[in-house]
Amino acid sequence: MLALFLAEVRRSWIQFIRYPSEAIIGVFISTITFYFLFTGASYVAGPSGSLATADGAERLDVLVIGYVLWLLMLFVLSEATNSLEGEAKTGTLEQIFLSPHSAVTVFLLRALAGMAIRLLLIAVNLGLILLITGSNLAFPPLLVLPLVTMLMAAYGFAFVLAGLVLLFKQVRQVLGGLQFGLLLLIGAPVENFSGVAKVMALMAPMTPSAGLLRDLMARSEGLDWGMLAIALANGVVYLALGFFCFSRAERMAKQRGLLSGY
């Protein structure tokens, strides 16, 4: 298992770095995009144009976090579906189903390997952005916990989408529609909700984790362990749901002869 994980890390890394100019341009573009978004946002954030106030600075940081998380989630989903679509075409997908490991195991290890590399890149990205904008986000080590619960829910989604790819080959349209939905899920200020809205938000995928991350990083508040428990339950449920849907899709694909080609 560990050997396979390391092999996945090597494979992903080689594929990423094989054409270094492409890799560097990728990082560059996302940093630039963000920079313009950021300057635009700060213009909107303070009607008086004053970012000096504490309130303005907090709003800005919330935006930064929201954007980075959104990017991360988009990466998780598009990576899962794009690579699956590509592999169905080249035939490597069938080889995965021919391996004695279950497909869920292989794809989960892949996801983890891809994430390890992506987190590294995001760290670079974030570092550059903080350098340019002088925003001061906090990075308490505890933030790893809500990040993990958030990724669990995100991978749950990714597995559902991957299942759809097995059955329908093309899910680009779904992914396009999902981008906006993701923005809502990640941006919903669950920490300010109450009553039914709050309960709904807590059950929505990723939302409680995103709230925790905002508290930790933009507001420098301590970790709310009760909330973390909810976020964890949220992550576990959505991940399990993803596994379940993917396994069902795999069975259907074998039934209909859809594993690649058709």
Ligand X SMILES: Nc1ncnc2c1ncn2[C@@H]1O[C@H](COP(=O)(O)OP(=O)(O)O)[C@@H](O)[C@H]1O
* Residue ranges binding another protein (CB under 8 A): 3-4, 6-7, 10-11, 14-15, 18-19, 90-92, 94-102, 106, 251, 254-257, 259-261
Identify which of residues 163 and 211 has a Cβ nearer to ligand X in the complex.
163
Which parts of the chain fold into alpha helices (H)? Answer: 2-17, 20-45, 54-90, 92-98, 103-133, 144-168, 172-187, 195-203, 207-217, 225-256
Per CB under 6 A, which of residues 59..88 are in contact with ligand X? none
Identify which of residues 237 and 259 has a Cβ nearer to ligand X in the complex.
259
Identify which of residues 100 and 257 has a Cβ nearer to ligand X in the complex.
257
CB of 164 to ligand X, least distance (A): 17
Identify which of residues 15 and 53 has a Cβ nearer to another protein in the complex.
15
Interaction mask 228-257, ligand X, x per CB under 6 A? ----------------------------xx
Q: How far is CA 155 from CA 80, 120, 238, in A?
A: 9, 18, 8
Identify which of residues 7 and 131 has a Cβ nearer to another protein in the complex.
7
| Residue 106 interacts with which of another protein, ligand X, none, CB < 5 to 8 Å by class | another protein
CB of 156 to another protein, least distance (A): 23
By residue count, the chain amounts to 262
**Calpha distance 153→233 (Å, rounded):** 10
Q: Report the residue number whose CB is nearest to ligand X.
A: 257
Q: How far is CA 194 from CA 59, 96, 201, 209, 230, in A?
A: 21, 46, 10, 17, 15
**Calpha distance 108→201 (Å, rounded):** 27
Q: How far is CA 33 from CA 2, 28, 101, 231, in A?
A: 36, 9, 40, 30
| Residue 54 interacts with which of ligand X, another protein, none, CB < 5 to 8 Å by class | none
**Calpha distance 9→232 (Å, rounded):** 26
Instruction: List contacts with ligand X (CB under 6 A).
Output: 256-258, 262
